[in-house]
Amino acid sequence: MAGNESVTIEDIDGISSLCTGCGACAAACPTGSICMTTDREGFSYPRVDNNQCIACHKCLNVCQASRDSAKHNPIEIEVLYASRKDERAAGSSGGIMGLLAKRVLESNGVVFGAVFDAEGHRVIHASTETHSLEKILRSKYVQSEAWPTYARVKQHLCSGEQVLFCGTPCQVIGLNRYLGKQYSNLLTVDFFCHGVPSPGFFADYARLVESQKGSRLTDVTFREKSHGWREQHMRWYFSDGSNIEEPSLDNCHYFFFLGNYSLRKSCYTCELYKRHEADITLADYWLIDPAFDDDLGTSLVLANTENGLTFLKDIKKDTIEVPVDNFDFEIYRHSYCPNKRANFFDCYVNEGIEATCGSYFDNEHRVWCIRNRCGAIKNAFVSKIKNCIGAFTR
């Protein structure tokens, strides 16, 4: 070990609840002293091998947990969807990411994004060099492993090719920190991010689904649009040619994701939805005026930089614009850590996947259904009373 000072696991541990798992530290380490390891909750965290560390501090310099990211105010905000039905259906919301990717591929560029790896039961980052664009599109609600692609992104940038990198806001920041300078041929795209669920939990759950089904998993879609954009369904595909589809909130992985049980610790305090470091930010535009909502998916699109604005202008001819008066980003605000997170991970770690997806899920789901049903009955009751009062006062 060279030098008196070395980066230790304690330095990394000190930021562990802020660590986003972007992996920029591992990608930047010149001696390969950092590997990303899985913690008991199933998330990746860096671990330093002090025997190889030369105390250069590159890892801490690229770490987003130790300093603020850049902040852009969006230059342009639009509500759009792809005008071609197939291109709109190919995305989880309005198909805008697909249009941006197509534009980059037309100029012989490369697109990096998240891909479901059925064999590993995980989500990785990969590019159009090895995977079809179809595999890269759509939301996968599991934390992906982006850091292994950062060096490859840099190679393409240095050889002058146009690169599109899409990931969570913290992954885009991780890539930018790793690159250390701006490249005019890089387009970064992120999204308003709810948070990422545990990849370890998802992998165990996927194995359980496989064993119950008695067939190997070949793919999974997290947001089937066959029942519309709002009524979300998950569909599992198997090697025997069959598939299983279920409403998302009846699926234990999705229920724990949306209910904020299974997210990474850093997600509960994440303020990146206000910073917009990527060139373009995408989101589902849930506040769409019902008069314009055909339930096929509509996107909110923010051009945060001049580079993003150029691409947005380029794809606009292939989109349909929805008129909007004002925007409320607060609907994308994060919900805070429920006590349930601790109970959820206690159950997963101590009792295992079968108990978590069995009795624990059944109980939580039942309570949620009762509350929801009571809420719906209460709302119907209140609106009935309001109507009666209205009738009396008219």
Ligand X SMILES: Cc1cc2nc3c(=O)[nH]c(=O)nc-3n(C[C@H](O)[C@H](O)[C@H](O)COP(=O)(O)OP(=O)(O)OC[C@H]3O[C@@H](n4cnc5c(N)ncnc54)[C@H](O)[C@@H]3O)c2cc1C
Provide the binding-site residues for ligand SF4, judged by CB under 6 A. 7, 12, 15, 19-25, 29, 31, 33-34, 46, 48, 53-59, 62-65, 168-170, 174, 193, 195-196, 264, 266-267, 270, 272
Pick from 261, 322, 233: which is nearest to 286 by CA? 322
Does residue number 21 form part of the binding site for ligand X (CB under 6 A)? no
Task: Say which amino acid occupies 338.
Answer: P
Does residue number 109 form part of the binding site for ligand X (CB under 6 A)? no
270 interacts with, out of ligand SF4, ligand X, none, CB within 5 to 8 A per kind: ligand SF4
CB atoms within 10 A of CB 224: 19
Does residue number 92 form part of the binding site for ligand X (CB under 6 A)? yes
Tokens of 104: 């980059």
CA distances from 135 to 87, 90, 116, 299 (A): 14, 10, 7, 20
In the complex, least distance from residue 122 CB atom to ligand SF4, rounded to whole angstroms: 15
Question: In this complex, which beta carbon is closest to ligand SF4, that of residue 12 or of residue 79?
Answer: 12
Cα separation, 269 vs 99, in Å, equals: 32
In the complex, least distance from residue 158 CB atom to ligand X, rounded to whole angstroms: 22
Cα separation, 172 vs 251, in Å, equals: 29
Question: In this complex, which beta carbon is closest to ligand SF4, that of residue 63 or of residue 220?
Answer: 63
Pick from 140, 188, 144: which is nearest to 163 by CA? 188
Does residue number 95 form part of the binding site for ligand X (CB under 6 A)? yes
Does residue number 139 form part of the binding site for ligand X (CB under 6 A)? yes
343 interacts with, out of ligand X, ligand SF4, none, CB within 5 to 8 A per kind: none
92 interacts with, out of ligand X, ligand SF4, none, CB within 5 to 8 A per kind: ligand X
Q: Of residues 164-193, which lie at the interface with ligand X (CB under 6 A)?
A: 166-168, 171, 191-193
Cα separation, 324 vs 58, in Å, equals: 45
79 interacts with, out of ligand SF4, ligand X, none, CB within 5 to 8 A per kind: none
- Name the packing angle between helices 150-158 and 169-179 (round to 10°): 60
Question: In this complex, which beta carbon is closest to ligand SF4, that of residue 272 or of residue 347?
Answer: 272
Question: In this complex, which beta carbon is closest to ligand X, that of residue 56 or of residue 186?
Answer: 186
Cα separation, 170 vs 266, in Å, equals: 10
> Which residue intervals of 247-305 are DSSP H helices?
252-258
Cα separation, 162 vs 188, in Å, equals: 11
Does residue number 74 form part of the binding site for ligand X (CB under 6 A)? no
Question: In this complex, which beta carbon is closest to ligand SF4, that of residue 103 or of residue 253?
Answer: 253
The β-bridge relationship of strands 163-166 and 186-191 is: parallel
CA distances from 2 to 31, 51, 57, 288, 311 (A): 12, 9, 12, 58, 46
> Residues 231-270 vs ligand X: string with x where CB under 6 A?
----------------------------------------
In the complex, least distance from residue 155 CB atom to ligand X, rounded to whole angstroms: 19
> Which residues lie near ligand X (CB under 6 A)?
91-98, 113-114, 123, 136-142, 144, 166-168, 171, 191-194, 196, 282-284, 299, 332
